[in-house]
Amino acid sequence: MPTPPRARRHPHDDAPDTADAFRELATLPDGPRRDALRDEIVEAWLPMAERLAGRFRSRGESPEDLRQVAALGLVKAVDRYDPGRGHAFESYAVPTITGEIKRHFRDHLWTLHVPRRVQELRNRVRVADQELSRTVSGRRPTVAEIAERAGLSEEDTREGLEALETFTALSLDAELPGGEDGYSLGGPDPALDTVVDREAVRKRLAALPERERAILYMRFFDGMTQSSIAERLGISQMHVSRLISRCCSRVRQQVMRESVTPRTPVSPERAAPSREWCPAARGAATGGL
């Protein structure tokens, strides 16, 4: 009976000789004996998987997690390896384990979901940039040079370069230099107060008499002066001034009575009356006209 071809042993001294074990594993049915032999093979090749994981250290993932991912890739390689093809197990296991680690980085370490196409562009651009940086001295490689080395269009190259900066996200609470104390991306937005004010006065503006709503609109949307409004309506400028002041005070008081609760504190600045209509309420006036 012819002897099946023996897998060529890896030249490294510490590479285990598991060719016989793989041939036996291929003939065993599912059961305790097969599971035990499979575990022995995995354990024998585990040092190789850990060495492969070490190549990816210092890339933002803990060594222990990398070892676990490499071990998972090793198990997949053991389960899928066919000794009958005559190839050494390591020649199949190395790309399988490496691919599992790269897939882990692609799927789990991007803070925001990035399309796979963009991730691949990023990797090709990164490799081309690193290769060119070793040959070009005194300057950074140009987009055209990177595109030529990576075999990409300049548009795709720019997209890949932008993706190089998006592997991690910056916290909204992070302080960035912008003054003596810096500033936070997640700082208070004054426009939010405008939205609150606008919604608070919307119904009150709609309840005003038509002429008063028209005066407010002309004053705060059309930018007309009180004198121009008075001339258009055929009344005195003083009367227009009193109407604007009275409307503002009335709406403000109505809103304040409703909003001053333990859940909606109001600052003294927002509570204080003024002669001019609050600009934040301008958007609400449109719905009432």
What tokens appear for 81 in the block?
């390896």
CA dist 289 and 181 (Å) reads: 45
pLDDT at 159: 87
The owner of tokens 């562009």 is: 121
Q: Which residues pair with 175 in a beta bridge?
A: 184
pLDDT at 271: 41
Q: 36 pLDDT exceeds 90?
A: yes
Instruction: Tell me whether residue 200 is exposed, middle or buried, using C-beta atoms within 10 angstroms of its C-beta: 0 to 12, 13 to 18, 19 or more.
Output: buried
Q: 193 pLDDT exceeds 70?
A: no
Tell me: the pLDDT tens digits for 125-135?
888 888 888 77
pLDDT at 94: 92
Q: 91 pLDDT exceeds 70?
A: yes
Picking from 261, 260, 219, the residue whose alpha carbon sits closest to that of residue 241 is 219
Q: 268 pLDDT exceeds 50?
A: no
Q: What is the pTM of this model?
A: 0.40
Tell me: the pLDDT tens digits for 232-265?
999 999 999 999 998 888 888 887 877 655 444 4
pLDDT at 40: 93
Question: Which distant-in-sequence residues (6+ apart) come within 8 Å of 117 by Cβ?
Answer: none
DSSP assignment letter at 88 = -
Question: Which distant-in-sequence residues (6+ apart) come within 8 Å of 167 by Cβ?
Answer: 60, 109, 110, 111
pLDDT at 107: 65
DSSP one-letter string for 245-271: HHHHHHHHHHHHHHH-BTTB---HHHH
What tokens appear for 244 in the block?
């604007």
What percentage of the chain carries pLDDT values higher than 70? 69
175 phi/psi in degrees, rounded to 5:
-90, 125
What tokens appear for 34 in the block?
């097969």
Cβ atoms within 10 Å of 280's Cβ, excluding its own: 18
Q: 190 pLDDT exceeds 80?
A: no
Residues 7, 26: contact at Cβ < 8 Å? no
Task: Label residue 35 by pLDDT band (50, 70, 90).
Answer: very high
Amino acid, res. 203: K
Tell me: the pLDDT tens digits for 2-12?
444 444 444 44
The owner of tokens 């609050």 is: 278
CA dist 235 and 21 (Å) reads: 104
Q: 140 pLDDT exceeds 90?
A: no
Residues 102, 53: contact at Cβ < 8 Å? no
DSSP assignment letter at 137 = -
pLDDT at 217: 87
Tell me: the pLDDT tens digits for 37-49?
999 999 999 999 9
* Average pLDDT, rounded, for the chain: 76
Tell me: the pLDDT tens digits for 142-186?
899 999 999 999 999 988 888 776 655 555 555 555 545 554 555
Q: 197 pLDDT exceeds 60?
A: yes
